[in-house]
Copies of this chain bind each other. A is one copy, B any other.
Amino acid sequence: MAYRRTPAVQARLDAQRTAVVEAGLGLLSEHGYAGCTMAAVAARAGIATGSVYRHFPSKAALSVELFRTVVGREVAAVSGAANLRAHRTAADRVVAVIETFATRALKAPRLAYALLAEPVDPAVDAERLVFRRAFRDVFAGLIAAGVDSGELPPQDARLTASALVGAGAEALIGPLTGPSAGEAAGEAAGPGTVPALVTFTLRALGVPDADHA
């Protein structure tokens, strides 16, 4: 008689896989990809090192899954912020996205650095491209609407959106690495980072009165 996986076993396997992912997310938040060794993940998940390979064929595959999971959260968060009914203008929505993104990043700097800039396996690098596209599309929709309504000056919404994604990411990398890493001083994540980024964004969009209170 052939062996058939019972629901109980399947449930246990699923739980174990979840535990692996949870362990990986925890390590990623605390020590970035540098701390995500297979041994460390396994230990935190309470299983043997070799058992991780029952769920992921390689470290790269696990790394990609962790990346996608975290990025999924971030995209959902900024999308939610953009769609709040309190925001009446396109600029408001774009700013909400930037603020949400930056605030969340600065609140979890190690994780944000891991997602944005930490040198990683090429497989994860490839995922970064798709995640940036996702953010770009969020921006592009908002900007296009603003241009159509006449609120924003005519512009290539796609290009402006890409530029804002790059600007936000790059502007955060400095403040992100400053406090945690032992870099040369002068990169402190001053409390002015988010407002400064917002001002940059509004100006870049071509909002008439960019220097708002």
Interface residues of A (CB under 8 A from B): 117, 119-123, 125-126, 129, 132, 136, 153, 155-156, 158-160, 162-171, 173-174, 192-193, 196-197, 199-200, 203-206, 210-211
Cα distance A206–B160 in the bound complex, in angstroms: 16
- The count of identical subunits is 2
Q: Tell me the minimal C-beta distance from A147 to chain B in angstroms.
A: 13
Cα distance A126–B173 in the bound complex, in angstroms: 13
- Choose from B117, B155, B169, B174 the contact partner of A158 (Cβ within 8 Å): B174
Cα distance A193–B155 in the bound complex, in angstroms: 11
In the bound complex, do residue A163 and residue B168 qualify as a contact, i.e. CB atoms below 8 Å apart?
Answer: yes
CB<8 Å pairs between A and B, sample of 26 = A117-B129, A119-B122, A125-B125, A132-B173, A136-B170, A153-B211, A155-B199, A155-B200, A156-B192, A159-B171, A162-B167, A162-B174, A163-B167, A163-B168, A163-B170, A163-B200, A164-B167, A166-B168, A167-B167, A167-B170, A167-B204, A169-B170, A200-B204, A203-B205, A204-B204, A206-B211
Which residues does chain B contribute within 8 Å of A203, judged by CB atoms?
A: 203-206
> Which B residue's beta carbon lies closest to that of A169?
B166
Which residues does chain B contribute within 8 Å of A155, judged by CB atoms?
A: 196, 199-200
Cα distance A121–B122 in the bound complex, in angstroms: 6
* Among A120, A156, A158, A210: residue with most chain B CB under 10 A: A156
User: Shortest 4 CB-CB distances between A and B: which pairs?
Assistant: A166-B170, A166-B166, A119-B125, A163-B167
Cα distance A164–B122 in the bound complex, in angstroms: 25
Cα distance A14–B198 in the bound complex, in angstroms: 51
> Which B residue's beta carbon lies closest to that of A127?
B119
Which residues does chain B contribute within 8 Å of A123, judged by CB atoms?
A: 119
Which residues does chain B contribute within 8 Å of A164, judged by CB atoms?
A: 167
Cα distance A121–B123 in the bound complex, in angstroms: 10
